[in-house]
Amino acid sequence: MAFKILYISYDGITDPLGQSQILPYLAGLAKEGYEFTILSFEKEDRFRKLKDTITKITSNAGIRWVPLKFTSRPPVLSKLYDRMKMRQTALRLYRQNRYDMTHCRGYISAEIGLYLKRKKGVKFFFDMRGFWADEKKDGNAWNQNNLLFRQIYKHYKKKEAQFIKEADYIISLTEAGKKEIMKWPSYNADIPLSVIPCCADMDVFSLASVPDKLKGRRLLGLAENDLVISYLGSLGSWYMLDEMLALFAVIKQKYPSAQFLFVSHSPASMILAKLSKYQIDEKDVMIREAMRHEVPLFIKASDINISFIKPVYSKLSSSPTKLGEVLAMGIPIVVNSGVGDVKSIVEKSSGGIVIDEFTGESYTMVANAIPRLLQTDPATVRRNIEHIFSLREGIKLYREAYIKVLGTDKPTNNPDEQQKDIVPRTLSI
């Protein structure tokens, strides 16, 4: 008889992160015999576009998907409304299925997991995904000059301590985050705490080759011999667009035909509005949105990838998804220190350059190192990070964690339950 797990996520399965950091893991774990129900919150436009695709994937994997509508207005009240929906739906699903464990992605979900543990005795697996309350504070989403946001921050720091203290298992994305958690008064050394970073599907993000690069450049209309710098992912909050543009401006002085390729769903205006500040011409910048399957092709068109993230306290716990994906393709990367385990991973993998300061001197150092970066052996970089970022390794680590919480065999005295078939289905959003 399979263990029944309610996977709760306030992130949508139709979101890019849901497609890369939720579904592949659960599909792999379902093959190991775990029976999943996913409770997620979906943005209406993405749900409309991708509902059929995600339904097919979950059904084929034997996973039941229960999508609810994500609401964003009015601020604060919409979050309370969503939390109420999450709790009501989770309770109804529990009454129907009597789950053995909740796997809670993030703090909002963990509130429900802790409730079900206290009231129903359901095992509580806290997949914390970073220091969320501090991320909101550091990204100024919860401006601490505002009394309401100060209270919300204090509320979730108190909740965070409860999650850490009462979870049956805790997942940190980084070793740096784990070390920090172990210093907290709420940490109980008897509760298992392990590290699973944001992994990459090594089959999707395959090794880059010269034909791949040329194919991507032809598709994007980029010249075959120009130096192409790329950036992957969203912008805003703690993603340091100004500093990346400042670096590109220095590179441009040394490589006049260099192009900056942004593969991002963020508004193009966010980038274009800043170009004149760094004396960058619009013709030297290309901005493209991409579906998940298009991302590898576009990024393989580049020679070097850059990613600067504010090195604030909350980023100790950050494992940028893009890092594993770019290094899996063997493309050298330029990053900054102070973000999770990024520095140690990039240096140990020989996968690029890490800067400690955002200064003209640092940017000149990067520009001067470009010939060396272009000599990077993609196969070596990929081989050096596979044991860290491989999706197969991530699935294996989750399975080991599940076994510590649930064991390997689930006893039952109900023969009817042993014969029950899994009927994957979705509910209307």
Mean pLDDT of the chain: 93
Mean pLDDT across 206-221: 95
Alpha-carbon gap, residue 73 to 8, rounded angstroms = 22
Q: Are residues 45 and 123 both part of a single domain?
A: yes
The pLDDT, as a whole number, for residue 237 is 81
Same domain? 252 vs 312: yes
Q: Establish if 47 belongs to a structural domain.
A: yes
How many domains is the chain built from?
Answer: 2
Is residue 205 a part of any domain in this protein?
A: no
178, 48: one domain: yes
Q: Please tell me whether residues 228 and 328 are part of one structural domain.
A: yes
Same domain assignment for residues 113 and 183: yes
Please indicate, yes or no, if residue 342 is contained in any of the structural domains.
Answer: yes
Torsion sign (Cα): 147, 149, 152, 156 = negative
Question: Both 184 and 214 in a single domain?
Answer: no
- Which structure tokens are listed for 7? 């996977």
Residue from 36, 161, 91 nearest 423 by CA: 36
At 423, the pLDDT band (50, 70, 90 cuts) reads very low
Structure tokens at 318: 């950050």
Both 381 and 403 in one domain: the answer is no
Residues 101 and 220 grouped into a single domain: no
Amino acid occupying residue 411: P
Give yes or no: residues 379 and 247 share one domain.
yes
Residue 77: DSSP 8-state: H
| H or E stretch at 282 | none
Range of the domain at 93: 4-197+391-418
Residues 120 and 105 reside in one and the same domain: yes
Contact 232, 308 (CB under 8 A): no
CATH number at residue 383: 3.40.50.2000
- Answer whether the bond into residue 74 is a cis peptide, omega within 30°: yes
List the 35-42 sheet strands across, edge first. 64-69, 35-42, 4-9, 101-105, 123-127, 169-172, 193-195
In a domain, 203, yes or no: no
Q: At what angle do helices 321-328 and 378-389 cross, to 10 degrees?
A: 140
Question: Which phi and psi angles does 333 have, rounded to 5°?
Answer: -130, 145
Same domain, 142 and 23: yes
Number of Cβ atoms within 10 Å of the Cβ of 79: 15
- In angstroms, rounded to a whole number, what is the distance separating the alpha carbons of residues 61 and 39? 16
- The whole-angstrom separation of Cα 227 and Cα 193 is 43
- Which pLDDT score is estimated for 411? 61
Residue 423 lies in a domain: no
pLDDT for 143-191, tens place per residue? 999 999 999 999 999 999 999 999 999 999 999 999 999 999 999 999 9
Give pLDDT, residue 429.
Answer: 54
Burial class (CB in 10 A: 0-12, 13-18, 19+), 369: middle
Whether 204 is covered by a domain: the verdict is: no
Q: Which two tokens stand for residue 27?
A: 């599909």
pLDDT digits 0-9 by tens, 317-373: 999 999 999 999 999 999 999 999 999 999 999 999 999 999 999 999 999 999 999
Distant-in-sequence, close-in-space partners of 364: CB < 8 Å, separation ≥ 6: 250
Domain contains 96: yes
Q: pLDDT, tens digit, for every residue of 237-294?
A: 889 999 999 999 999 999 999 999 999 999 999 999 999 999 999 999 999 999 888 9
Q: Do 174 and 311 belong together in one domain? A: no
Length of the chain, in residues: 429
